[in-house]
């Protein structure tokens, strides 16, 4: 905001979309060339134009509303002026042909070209302009164009209409900001005092946001980190430091902590909020049936303006308001949330909406540099990011495609690609050759072109996935760096481009944003997370102690060898230890083991002895069974066996269930795999401790995460029992949280002594 009011910068493309998009919500518009392909296509076409043709000519106009000033700006792809005429050209790259290009898209593109021409008329006082909209079909480099000469009056009428619509819209948005900003500035911290560590986190994040710095914050469970991060971020939103906040969670269940934090702040706070979710989660009925296409898509853009007007009346806009708006105007709620995205204050979403190259939505808000990202449970980010920046292709997908395509040359092309990839699998090179990358790209483009001419709604899901899988793999092959590694499997044949180090990709995304703030109950070891998330040290780094007294947790180590080759021999000692513990201190115990096989071996003697009540994590994905397991955890006493690193070890909040102890068998290191070997090698060659980065550090973090289920509030007390001799080594112990202070128990007498001492605390 400036002295003269709020300021906005709007692209010509965004204005054309906002004011001129009409008709159906066409699913085909979801597939479009990548930015890099589009740019290369533009350059190819511009190079063919005559010498007096000027490329990428910047143009802008300023407008004044009642409460704001806004700049309409963009770059004309081409401008050619002679004594006889002025030509403005807008270039679009596409995979569609003239016949299959959705008319809704054409309308917006044409409006964009005409708006540029109108702006030029305004600047140069021209009587008429020739407006050319050229489509470059990327698969065969052919073009088709729409060309018309328009008078100044007709062009300025369009510009005037759009200016009026958008100024009215921005003024309405400013009225929301005028109400929101003072309310946020007035809002106080919702509790009389901060919890220990909570204020340090809040202050560090406040300062980092003020200075535009990113940060890494280790903030143990119980500190109230959602509120501690949201509160300073909302203060900066009110002060205008940032225009939007994105709160990212690793799982949908993380949305609940935001709901709770906001309800504590103030139910009536004038805040517009969107929870971005996958289509299936947002709308239970979303399985497009070709016989009855969803009516919420039909004439979607004709009804959208009225819904947007209604949205401006809501200064407090949450999930219920979105659902009501979608119902009232018969609009797809999933798309509506995307269309309202630039105009909300807080977005709650999964990581992939910011970082994944194929799901990114953060750019569509129109002002990424003014977006602050708060990323919760950040210990998940390195692995999630590796998945986002890696791609694999099973050859079975190509077989599916070959069976289905009706075009004979395309069938042959797919056959040739299969043969190339089989040869790579039998004799893997270090990297894909340029020829293979080109073959992948051309084949993917040919498949997409065939696909755009088909009635895709009739396609089975498997075929759709095969097409998108090939396209994504071809994209990844095109963009792969020397750091990406090629991995192949013979049975079933599969090929993967694996990203061992996601930091450069995360850095690139972060550089486009105002700042990113990564926090978690466990970001230890710090240097591991620092290097996994960013190549250069983040300016703000904070490691906070647990807010609870260290004496509330008794940490014991049973030095038993649980390495893979020794597991059978370890079972009697572990079972004896568990029986001794149960006799000394029965209660609610969560026990995490590295595999189902090992877990079953450990509990088998306990089942036979029928000495203690056992619960075992269900081995299926059946939601009812999972729920039943969770409900059973409310029982007064049990030993509940779960898999380390799995959903029940880390992904559940046991706030309502007070555990008496957490037992962790092994070091939770990930098992060896080709990917782990590449991570090891990559960080070794980068001067880091490769083995630790690939195995030891991720394992230790899982241990800390699993143990974190125990002490969740001031009243909780309990035992963490680490069953592995490696925890006796000082190297391992140095990486555990400082307040754990583990004691070694060699036998049941040691155990009894330690538990007795803990009981006296």
Shortest Cβ 95–ligand SF4 spacing (Å): 22
Shortest Cβ 511–ligand SF4 spacing (Å): 33
Instruction: Choose between 308 and 588: whose C-beta lies nearer to ligand SF4.
Output: 308
Q: Would you say 678 and 487 are in contact if contact means Cβ atoms under 8 Å apart?
A: yes
Instruction: Choose between 187 and 286: whose C-beta lies nearer to ligand SF4.
Output: 286
Kindly report the length of the chain: 761
> Of 408, 652, 362, nearest to 516 (Cα)?
362
Instruction: Choose between 285 and 671: whose C-beta lies nearer to ligand SF4.
Output: 285
Instruction: Choose between 279 and 729: whose C-beta lies nearer to ligand SF4.
Output: 279
Tell me if residue 105 falls in helix, strand or coil: helix
Instruction: Choose between 323 and 437: whose C-beta lies nearer to ligand SF4.
Output: 323
Shortest Cβ 289–ligand SF4 spacing (Å): 9
Instruction: Choose between 141 and 465: whose C-beta lies nearer to ligand SF4.
Output: 465
Whole-angstrom CA distances from 100 to 103, 230, 292 are 9, 46, 21
How many residues bind to ligand SF4 according to rule CB under 6 A?
9
| Spatial distance between the Cα atoms of 262 and 231, rounded to a whole number of angstroms | 9
Shortest Cβ 336–ligand SF4 spacing (Å): 9
158's CB contacts (< 8 A; 6+ apart) are 111, 114, 115, 118
Q: Would you say 93 and 136 are in contact if contact means Cβ atoms under 8 Å apart?
A: yes
CA 316 to mean position of chain CA atoms: 25
Q: What is the largest CA-CA distance in the chain?
A: 101
| Spatial distance between the Cα atoms of 343 and 346, rounded to a whole number of angstroms | 9
Shortest Cβ 465–ligand SF4 spacing (Å): 18
Among residues 126, 258, 296, 495, which is the contact residue for ligand SF4, using CB under 6 A? 296
Tell me if residue 49 falls in helix, strand or coil: coil
Instruction: Choose between 361 and 424: whose C-beta lies nearer to ligand SF4.
Output: 361
Alpha carbon dihedral 464, 469, 470, 474, in 10-degree steps, equals: 140
Interacting stretch for ligand SF4, rule CB under 6 A, among 129-137, 293-301, 415-423, 454-462? 293-301
Tell me if residue 735 falls in helix, strand or coil: coil
Among residues 17, 195, 297, 360, which is the contact residue for ligand SF4, using CB under 6 A? 297
Site string for ligand SF4, 220-259 (x = CB under 6 A): ----------------------------------------
Shortest Cβ 323–ligand SF4 spacing (Å): 11
Query: Scanning residues 316 to 345, which ones bind ligand SF4 (CB under 6 A)?
Result: 332, 334
Query: Scanning residues 674 to 703, which ones bind ligand SF4 (CB under 6 A)?
Result: none
Instruction: Choose between 294 and 616: whose C-beta lies nearer to ligand SF4.
Output: 294
Shortest Cβ 352–ligand SF4 spacing (Å): 18
Query: Scanning residues 410 to 469, which ones bind ligand SF4 (CB under 6 A)?
Result: none
Residue 455 bridge partners (DSSP): none
Interacting stretch for ligand SF4, rule CB under 6 A, among 294-302, 391-399, 505-513, 565-573? 294-302
Shortest Cβ 329–ligand SF4 spacing (Å): 12
In the Cβ-directed half-sphere of 186, how many Cα atoms lie within 13 Å? 10
| Spatial distance between the Cα atoms of 185 and 237, rounded to a whole number of angstroms | 9
Instruction: Choose between 219 and 336: whose C-beta lies nearer to ligand SF4.
Output: 336
Instruction: Choose between 279 and 551: whose C-beta lies nearer to ligand SF4.
Output: 279
> Of 75, 74, 90, nearest to 130 (Cα)?
90
Query: Scanning residues 178 to 217, which ones bind ligand SF4 (CB under 6 A)?
Result: none
Is 294 among the residues that bind ligand SF4 (CB under 6 A)? yes
| Spatial distance between the Cα atoms of 734 and 731, rounded to a whole number of angstroms | 5
Burial label, 482 (beta-carbon count in 10 A; 0-12, 13-18, 19+): exposed
Q: At 718, list the tokens.
A: 């309990």
Interacting stretch for ligand SF4, rule CB under 6 A, among 140-148, 289-297, 381-389, 601-609? 289-297
Instruction: Choose between 286 and 468: whose C-beta lies nearer to ligand SF4.
Output: 286
Residue 88 bridge partners (DSSP): 79, 131
Is 286 among the residues that bind ligand SF4 (CB under 6 A)? yes
Shortest Cβ 297–ligand SF4 spacing (Å): 5
Among residues 51, 188, 285, 492, which is the contact residue for ligand SF4, using CB under 6 A? 285
User: Any long-range contacts for 532-537 (C-beta under 8 Å, 24+ apart)?
Assistant: 532/381, 532/382, 532/501, 532/502, 532/503, 532/693, 533/216, 533/378, 533/381, 533/382, 533/502, 533/503, 533/506, 534/214, 534/503, 534/506, 534/507, 534/510, 535/503, 535/504, 535/507, 536/507
Instruction: Choose between 297 and 626: whose C-beta lies nearer to ligand SF4.
Output: 297
Query: Scanning residues 265 to 284, which ones bind ligand SF4 (CB under 6 A)?
Result: 279, 283
Is 307 among the residues that bind ligand SF4 (CB under 6 A)? no
Q: Would you say 458 and 413 are in contact if contact means Cβ atoms under 8 Å apart?
A: no
Shortest Cβ 334–ligand SF4 spacing (Å): 4
- Residue ranges binding ligand SF4 (CB under 6 A): 279, 283, 285-286, 294, 296-297, 332, 334
């Amino acid at each position: 905001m400036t002295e003269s009011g709020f300021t906005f910068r709007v692209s010509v493309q965004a204005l054309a979309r906002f004011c001129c998009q009409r008709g159906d919500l066409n699913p085909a518009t979801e597939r479009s060339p990548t930015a890099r392909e589009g740019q290369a296509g533009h350059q190819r076409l511009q190079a063919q134009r005559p010498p007096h043709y000027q490329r990428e000519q910047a143009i802008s106009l300023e407008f004044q509303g009642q409460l704001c000033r806004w700049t309409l700006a963009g770059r004309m792809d081409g401008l050619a002026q002679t004594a006889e005429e002025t030509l403005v050209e807008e270039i679009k790259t596409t995979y569609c042909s003239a016949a299959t290009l959705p008319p809704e898209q054409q309308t917006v593109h044409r409006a964009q070209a005409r708006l540029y021409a109108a702006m030029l008329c305004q600047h140069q006082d021209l009587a008429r302009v020739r407006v050319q909209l050229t489509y470059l079909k990327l698969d065969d480099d052919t073009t088709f164009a729409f060309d018309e000469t328009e008078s100044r009056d007709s062009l300025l009428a369009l510009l005037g209409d759009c200016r009026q619509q958008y100024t009215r819209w921005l003024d309405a948005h400013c009225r929301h900001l005028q109400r929101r900003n003072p309310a946020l500035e007035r809002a106080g911290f919702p509790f009389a005092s901060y919890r220990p560590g909570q204020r340090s986190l809040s202050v560090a994040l406040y300062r980092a946001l003020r200075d535009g710095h990113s940060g890494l914050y280790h903030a143990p469970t119980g500190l109230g980190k959602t509120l501690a991060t949201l509160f300073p971020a909302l203060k900066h939103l009110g002060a205008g430091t940032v225009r939007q906040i994105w709160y990212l969670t690793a799982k949908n269940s993380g949305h609940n902590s935001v709901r709770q934090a906001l309800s504590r702040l103030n139910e009536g706070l004038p805040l517009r909020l969107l929870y971005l979710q996958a289509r299936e989660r947002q709308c239970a009925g979303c399985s497009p049936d070709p016989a009855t296409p969803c009516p919420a898509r039909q004439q979607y853009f004709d009804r959208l303006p009225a819904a947007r007007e209604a949205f401006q009346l809501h200064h407090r806009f949450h999930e219920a308001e979105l659902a009501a708006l979608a119902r009232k105007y018969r609009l797809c709620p999933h798309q509506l949330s995307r269309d309202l995205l630039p105009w909300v204050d807080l977005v709650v979403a999964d990581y992939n909406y910011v970082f994944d190259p194929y799901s990114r939505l953060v750019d569509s808000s129109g002002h990424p540099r003014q977006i602050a990202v708060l990323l919760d449970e950040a210990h998940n980010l390195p692995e999630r990011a590796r998945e986002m920046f890696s791609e694999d292709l099973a050859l079975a997908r190509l077989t599916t495609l070959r069976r289905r395509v009706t075009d004979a040359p395309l069938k042959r092309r797919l056959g040739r690609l299969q043969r190339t990839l089989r040869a790579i699998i039998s004799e893997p090179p270090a990297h894909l050759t340029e020829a293979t990358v080109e073959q992948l790209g051309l084949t993917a483009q040919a498949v997409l072109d065939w696909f755009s001419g088909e009635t895709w709604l009739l396609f089975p899901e498997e075929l759709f996935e095969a097409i998108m899988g090939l396209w994504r793999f071809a994209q990844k092959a095109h963009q792969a760096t020397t750091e990406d590694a090629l991995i192949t499997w013979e049975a079933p044949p599969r090929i993967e481009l694996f990203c061992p180090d996601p930091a450069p990709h995360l850095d690139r995304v972060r550089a486009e944003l105002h700042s990113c703030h990564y926090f978690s109950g466990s970001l230890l070891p710090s240097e591991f997370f620092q290097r996994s998330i960013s190549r250069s040290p983040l300016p703000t780094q904070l490691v906070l102690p647990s807010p609870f007294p260290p004496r509330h947790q008794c940490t014991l180590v049973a030095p038993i060898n649980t390495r893979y080759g020794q597991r059978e021999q370890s079972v009697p000692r572990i079972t004896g230890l568990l029986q001794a513990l149960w006799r000394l201190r029965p209660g609610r115990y969560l026990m995490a083991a590295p595999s189902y096989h090992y877990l079953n071996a450990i509990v088998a003697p306990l089942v036979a002895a029928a000495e203690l009540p056992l619960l075992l994590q269900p081995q299926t994905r059946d939601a009812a069974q999972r729920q039943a397991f969770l409900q059973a955890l409310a029982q007064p006493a049990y030993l509940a066996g779960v898999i380390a690193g799995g959903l029940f070890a880390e992904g559940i909040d046991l706030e309502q269930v007070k555990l008496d102890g957490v037992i962790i068998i092994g070091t939770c290191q990930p098992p060896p795999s080709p990917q782990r070997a590449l991570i090891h090698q990559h960080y070794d060659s980068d001067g880091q401790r490769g083995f630790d980065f690939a195995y030891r550090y991720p394992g230790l973090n899982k241990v800390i995460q699993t143990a974190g289920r125990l002490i969740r509030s001031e009243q909780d007390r309990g035992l963490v029992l680490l069953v592995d001799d490696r925890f006796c080594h000082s190297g391992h112990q140095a990486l555990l949280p400082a307040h754990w202070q583990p004691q070694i128990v060699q036998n049941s007498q040691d155990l009894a002594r330690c538990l007795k001492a803990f009981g006296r605390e």
